[in-house]
Amino acid sequence: MKRVIALANQKGGVGKTTTAVNLAASLTATKRRVLLIDSDPQGNATMGCGIDKHAQSRTSCDVLLGDCSAVEALVAVEYGGFMLMPANQDLTAAEVRLLTMTVGREFKLRNALAPVREDFDVILIDCPPSLNMLTLNALVAADSVMVPMQCEYYALEGLTALMQTIEQIKESINPALEIEGLLRTMFDPRNNLANEVSAQLLEHFGDKVFRTMIPRNVRLAEAPSFGKPVLFHDKESRGALAYLALAGEMIRRDELPGAPVQPDTPDTPDSPDTPDSPDTPDSPDSPDTPDTPVLPDAPV
Ligand code: ATP
Ligand code: MG
What is the best residue among 7, 9, 17, 218 to mutate for testing ligand 1's pocket, by most ligand atoms within 8 Å of CB?
17
> What residue numbers bound the domain in which 148 lies?
4-255
Interatomic CA distance for residues 46 and 174, integer angstroms: 27
Would residue 289 count as lying in a domain? Answer: no
Ligand 1 centroid to Cα of residue 117, in Å, is 28
Would residue 235 count as lying in a domain? Answer: yes
Would residue 285 count as lying in a domain? Answer: no
Would residue 216 count as lying in a domain? Answer: yes
pLDDT interval class at 155 (50, 70, 90): confident
Query: Which residues are near ligand 1 (CB < 6 Å)?
Result: 12-18, 40, 42, 44, 129, 185-186, 214, 216-217, 220-221, 224, 239
Query: Which ligand ends up closest to the CA of 16?
Result: 1
Ligand 2 centroid to Cα of residue 153, in Å, is 20
Would residue 264 count as lying in a domain? Answer: no
Supply the pLDDT for residue 158. 83
Is residue 246 within 8 A of residue 214, CB to CB? The reply is yes
Supply the pLDDT for residue 172. 93
Would residue 233 count as lying in a domain? Answer: yes
14 contacts: CB under 8 Å, gap ≥ 6: 129, 148, 149, 150, 155, 185, 186
Would residue 269 count as lying in a domain? Answer: no
Q: What is the pLDDT of residues 205-242, one digit of tens each?
A: 999 999 999 999 999 999 999 999 999 999 999 999 99
The CATH number for 128's domain is 3.40.50.300
Ligand 1 closest atom vs CA 223: 20
Supply the pLDDT for residue 160. 87
Total domain count for the chain? 1
Residue among 277, 272, 147 at smallest CA distance from 222: 277
Average pLDDT, the chain: 88
162-185 CB burial, b ≥16 within 10 A, e <16: bbebbeebeeeebeebebbbbbbb
- Please state the pTM of the whole predicted model: 0.89
Would residue 192 count as lying in a domain? Answer: yes
Q: What is the pLDDT of residues 249-283, one digit of tens each?
A: 999 998 876 654 554 443 334 433 334 444 344 44
